Structure 1
Amino acid sequence: MQPFVYNALPMRVIFGSGTLSQVGPEIQRLGCGKALVLTTPAQAKEGEMLRADLGSLAVGLYSNATMHTPTDITEEALELAQRLGADCVVALGGGSTIGLGKAIALRTDLPQIVIPTSYAGSEATTVIGQTENGQKTTQKTPKVLPEAIIYDVDLTLTLPAQMTITSGINAIAHAVEALYSAEANPITDMLAEQGIARVANALKILSKDPHNIEARSDALFGAWACGSCLGAVGMALHHKLCHTLGGTFNLPHAETHTVVLPHTIAYNAPFSTVAMTKAARSLSAGSAAQGVYDLAKNLGAPYSLKQLGMKEADLERAADVAMKSPYPNPAPLDRERLLSLLRDAYEGKRPA
């Protein structure tokens, strides 16, 4: 018998099609009536439509959520929330918007309702990453866990092809790290395997048929499963590297996860054979590292840091930053091995 400790997160999940109509009732269920809607600039139109639909339940819209959650953006949104007397936030969007909602909740304890439009999965975790002065830091606290998550499959039907793939592999990264986490347990293992399989199979269909409603549903459910299992356990090397690359070098979040994941899997594989067997099985691949790499490359996603604009001269600095603070990881952390990992990711080499 495998001994384990499992901490279930208190979350309310509404999943289906047309569930956007539940936002108003959920605001009222929380005892609130002055919601501030949050979006990125690209989704401002959708945010304004939601604000209008909510009528008197919404007091305004903040539409400048930004990748990697810069603290100056958070302060700007927080000032608006206080000026309008907001008693809750409604985040409509992907990881950038969800991160902003979490950052506001961290500072104010305002309740959050999250409506994901991508497969980021961060809505299901107690993790928040924030960037200040070019340095991205993360913390884990129940204060940032949303009170309600509303998954509306209809909102993902227009997700662009490239974003669909990279966002989906970002979700897979959550589940892979959960499988080899120091806090792994049978419950999260089961969720992780199901999440990886659902997302991977859905991505193959969506690359050819982006409006396939069943595949969109599977991808969204898989993203929730992947995020949920990571929310219940701890992060390791993969997320540390991606936060370093994203916050320090301003690389795009989902694309960075997509490029780096095969290489962090390969780094940890000799020290987490059972976890990697489960991941490979869920990917229908002989090797978890090669399975993720082939999935990304075959579906047209970026597969090298060079493609994302990373400079080769910055690899040494990235390795130094990643080594700064200790964190649990199956394989021992060694600077030269990390540098080799980063070089492989920079060149886009297929893991051996």
Structure 2
Amino acid sequence: MAAPYELKWGILATGGIAKLFVKDLLLDPSTRDVTDVKHKVVAIGSSSSKASAEQFIEFVEADKNTTRAYGSYAEVLQDPDVQIVYVASPQSHHYDNVLEALRAGKHVCCEKPFTINAKQTAHLIRLARERKLFLMEAVWTRFFPITREIVRLLHTERVLGPIQRVWGDFSRLFDPSPEHRLFKPELGGGALLDLGVYPITWNFIALYEQNGRKGPSEVRGTILKARGYDVDEYTSVSMVWDNGESQAVGTASCSLSVQTPRAYCVAIQGEKGDLLVEWPPYRPETYILQLKGKEPVKKTFPVPGQGLFWEADACARALRDGKLEADEYTLEESLAVMEVLDRARETAGYAFPGKLEKVYSE
């Protein structure tokens, strides 16, 4: 048996999602029945201080002898042992951080949302392809075993027949605070980019393939801003998927002030029945298949750890096989999702402040 392919990671940022990601990377792959790839964290970079990176290494219980701590992102990108970087900074910084990584010749896995707008994402994709570097948006939900099974049921077996309607919601109650990043417009805060991306992703899981691997033909967003904060508090996005051969409608909603009813958070409806995804939309474990005239079938896929390792495994396999993007979630689809987010904000008259929407010429 061939030795597993080992991918060496550098981590940009030391916040909560970076900690969860690295903890998952450090788990033995055999605990998720993976034997062909493995991961090694070789560098942690903090934007504030080396001490912060050292505290991160201590917290995640990484090997202090083989994991280097840096007080800047630039030092991580200069480390010759780093093959790929995981960008876990606030979304307001994704565009700049990924650009810096690609210019340094590093492969990149960037936390969602990819950027603030689609033009920024398109620029990153263009640069990665020009430099023959791997690039992927870390929408972890796309890589779960449950998601792969749902994709197979919908698009290979076509158990629902033509899909006619998709509904998804991700809403959580947050206490408004000027210190919380979701209430800071300068960090790309608000419900849409953080929460709304998940129900939109489920629309794409169900309808992108059926629509000829194209995004929706019509998008309309409705936004209510949080009182006292210039961020979206309630957002609904309606989509029409019509490629001339098939038609479907999709809706996605999100909120910072109410909670999604917990029975299910996604409904995919077709001519032959429904497929329901139980809470939560970002880390689901259970779906219910209800075909017309048949008893419902409920299936559960337990998630060991957090489930972030599956997206890392996809990065490793792609690089092992000489690919510049992941089969499970292509760059074109990432761009199409970003275009929906843009159009939802545009039709609702909502833009981010200052230079967040900037795009560099290169």
- TM-score when normalising by structure 1: 0.36
Larger % of strand: which?
2
Larger % of helix: which?
1
Report which of the two structures shows the higher radius of gyration computed on alpha carbons. Answer: 2
